[in-house]
Amino acid sequence: MSKLNEFCRTLGQYAEKHCGCEYEISASSGDSFEVKVLEGEIISYSVNDYTSVSFKVKKNGKMGYSSTTALEEDGIPALVSAALENASINENPDEQFIFKGAESYPHPKVYGEELDGITAEEKIEIAKKLEIKAKQADPRIKKVEESEVVSGSGTVVIRNSHGLDLSETSNFIYAVVVPIAEEEGNMNSGIGICGGFDRAAIDVDKAVADGVKEAVDFCGAGSMKSSAQRVIFRNSAFCDMISTFSGIFSSENAQKGLSLLAGREGEKIAAECVSFTDDSTLDFAFGSRSFDSEGVPGQRTEVVENGVLKTLLYNLKTANKAGVKSTGNASGGGVSVTNFSLRPGEPTLGELCEKAGEGFIITEVSGLHAGANAMTGDFSLMAKGYRFENGGKDKKPVKGVTVSGNFYELLKNVEEVGCDVYVNMFGRAVSSPSVLLSAPMSIAGE
Amino acid sequence: MIEKRVSQAVLELAMSTGADYAEIYAEDTTYDSVSMVADCVEAVNTSRDKGAGVRVFSGTNSVYAYGNGTDEESLMSLASKAAAAVSGVKGENRDVTLAERDFGKVCRQTLPVSEVAKADRVKALKEAYFSAKEQSPRIVQVRGILNSYVKHVYVANSEGVIGTDERPYIRMFIVSVASDGTENQVGTVGPGAGAGFEFIQGLDLKAIGKKASDTALKMLDAEKCPAGRMPVVMAGGFGGVIFHEACGHSLEATSVGLGNSVFCGKLGQKIAADCVSACDDATIAGEWGSLAMSDEGEKTERIVLIENGILKNYMIDKLGSRRMNMRSTGSGRRQSYALAPTSRMSNTFICPGKDNIEEMIGGVDLGLYAASMGGGSVNPVTGEFNFSVNEGYMIRNGQIAEPVRGATLIGKGHEILFNIDRVGSDLQLGQGMCGSVSGSIPVNVGQPTIRISEITVGGEVK
């Protein structure tokens, strides 16, 4: 960290002398640890440190960017001149800002002190335990493809020509287990994940139970005949959907004509039971932070309330353009959600099934990076789940089907939101309960 | 990049606790990007990524440590971290003697991007961008990106090899959005190469913009694709993503070496229809997925994976080679020093056959013609894959008929290979980014026009 501090100080001094304009330095540094176990042996072990510095100038109203991971003082002139040159060919007509700072900042808890005390040996033991317990859980688990523990910590720093000087340090740990079930020549893998900011968050038994259940349940599963079905998205699957389509709430996309929510603030865009909140101030949540990538304080924002779009998510540039205040959602030059959650309702997953009578519970969707179009809302995805009848009393696992539809339509068709909140641990920090949809969806199989 | 004396000392320290192999990987990469949206240059970025990693093996156990410093002190610190994690007996002192090895060049840049004024790069991007925009008033938005980077790679390993590779990459993206006010549809074109700016100069930029908009406009007018099992004819080029997903990933040592692939133990056996042969070839000059030296300091090669339906080889890296007790095929790749390498694809394609395309389509009463494919994914354990069709048409009575959108193809790789019943002669390659345990890397997928006799098509259930 001291080397990074020193580099940033030298860069700041050079920028003061040579830029003749507003500038901003943002830096990050940290370390990470990863261990993977297979058949009781450590097959992969990785210990790392990283540093990176981004530099931004606002020259004649235009932004220019450059960055480096090489903390070499003789690279500073090139870093600065690249940013200045890049600003000179930028044509973006929108007014841009280097933030002057806010009076106060929230301080969500993002550092779990307890994690400092977990040694590498303990993490190896956790990875080994994941594998052993998964194999013991069910005779059909013949193998565990992955038993992994990952941890890390990092500090982000923002300093600019207005005297803004912010920093925040966070850490995390998570563990993943991927058991493979084998029965009568069929193989199927499941995934279990746990993690957070203290020892208690590493719930090995829960992760193993989740992964094993999924691997075993779908082992002999086949496809089914194509049909239109009442659909329940199980919590984790709906998290993936929300995460993939979360960009529709970005003012940046809206202003560029890349979201169909442009200009629809105040309008009903979803069913009555749908409310979305973005909140970067939650303690011990993966998306929390004191300030965003422009140095604007984090906040809680009601995005959709009872189906009505209250606001989009903004950074300084898009907020200025729309005549509103930044919601503190700047992220790497654009706009992104922090902790984005669908407000839970009352019913359990079982009660949602009862209400539907018969239909299809989607427990997993895959191929989101290709089969879901965040711009149009259209998706056509490979899915796994349970075909159910008699209010959920009879359930049959099904895989190798696809589900297709449109996310904007989906939001309007939510009939009921469950109470079983799932928090995503990879990618965006999205949380969601299971949801029951009113209109049937296309499930394509044989 | 690193003095020989330093590399020797680092490798010796890394092996001092009993490791039987050590390797240094260092890189210095400069990226440039220009992006346009809303008819103007929106952002211009220059970034440099420099760092190094030290990896050691003890049998089939692997330890990796990386950081951003490439000076002697930083490298020695990485070596001692790696050595500390090896739980072997204290080894005797290992002497490493290094010698430079020349890997030749597979990708060259005759006009380095750094020598082209940024204004001229912008001019090229604008030519394609505005061609896309001007196709129709229904093209409401276009995104244009010109990305280029040059990666300087250095590898030294305890087998005595020091190797370097300079890898230039350049790619242009045009994404057109067509809208009728209530619905949006997208068309994307993204040509790329292992080359310098001369690649962009050789492109028909106006045609690229037009192609992206044509797809978006056609799909805006298209009906939803009907779901069901049907024959599918897939056009050449990026259609090869089917082989990449359905089969390629399951032939990587990453899954085969750990017993996690449906193709384990199938060498010499029939795994595909007779008309199917396939290769992974990193040695094609100037291609997006090409490289002269692997990221483990080995010469890359053309690997025959399948010949007339028979499985001939896998794609194998050094660690995979130890696990499988087979020769490494020089397939070790990684996104950057921040990830340990593993077996990856380069330019992977179905080899050209002899079938006639008109006959292929003519023989289908009701099916799908996939003119342009999107991406996909696969579970190598089960072979289950999925991928999306960006531009599709129904085939009716042997003729290409109306456009359809929202189609997805799903199936199991080892099954689909037997269902390929026609292979044309029009081999083309298409560019993509492939994600796996060692990160996101540039790869080509490829194939001639092929026909699959039956596959599950996801779409609308009528």
pLDDT of residue B88: 57
Q: Are A69 and B48 in contact (CB < 8 Å)? A: yes
Residue A73 pairs with which residues in a beta bridge?
none
Closest Cβ–Cβ partner in B49, B377, B457 for A367: B377
Residue-wise pLDDT for A296-347, tens only, equals 999 999 999 999 999 999 999 999 999 999 999 999 889 999 999 999 999 9
pLDDT at A90 over 60: yes
Among chain A residues, the shortest Cα distance to B182 is held by A260
* Torsional sign, CA B450, B453, B457, B462: positive
What DSSP character marks residue B15?
Answer: T
Closest Cβ–Cβ partner in A51, A87, A446 for B68: A51
pLDDT at A163 over 90: yes
- Tokens encoding B210: 């037009």
Residue-wise pLDDT for B290-336, tens only, equals 999 999 999 999 999 999 999 999 999 999 999 999 999 999 999 99
Q: Are B458 and A444 in contact (CB < 8 Å)? A: yes
pLDDT of residue B462: 67
What DSSP character marks residue A68?
Answer: E
The residue type of B7 is S
pLDDT at B89 over 70: no
> What average pLDDT does this structure show over A388-406?
92
> pTM of this prediction?
0.89
Of B74, B53, B75, whose CA–CA distance to B64 is shortest?
Answer: B53
Show which of residues 239-278 on chain A sit within 8 Å of chain B, judged by CB atoms: 256-258, 260
ipTM, interface predicted TM-score of the complex: 0.86
DSSP reduced 3-state for A278 = strand
Among chain B residues, the shortest Cα distance to A402 is held by B458
Fold of A113-217: PmbA/TldD fold (3.30.2290)
Which has more pLDDT, A79 or A220? A79
Please check whether residue B263 is in contact with residue B256, taking contact to mean a CB–CB distance below 8 angstroms: yes
Residue-wise pLDDT for B359-380, tens only, equals 999 999 999 999 998 877 777 7
Number of neighbouring beta carbons within 10 Å of residue A400:
22
Using an 8 Å CB-CB cutoff, list chain A residues near B61: 41-43, 45
Q: Taking the domains of chain A in order of start, what are their residue ranges?
A: 113-217, 221-446
Specify the range with the lowest mean pLDDT, choosing from A163-172, A373-382, B140-149, B192-201. A373-382
Show which of residues 143-202 on chain A sit within 8 Å of chain B, judged by CB atoms: 143, 145, 180, 187-189
Q: Residues B173, B174, B177, CA angle at the centre, nearest 5°? A: 140
Q: Which residues 6+ apart lie within 8 Å of B213 measured at CB?
A: B132, B133, B135, B136, B139, B142, B176, B178, B187
> In Å, what is the CA distance from B122 to each residue of A82, A435, B200?
15, 47, 12
Q: Taking the domains of chain B in order of start, what are their residue ranges?
A: 228-458
pLDDT at B92 over 90: no
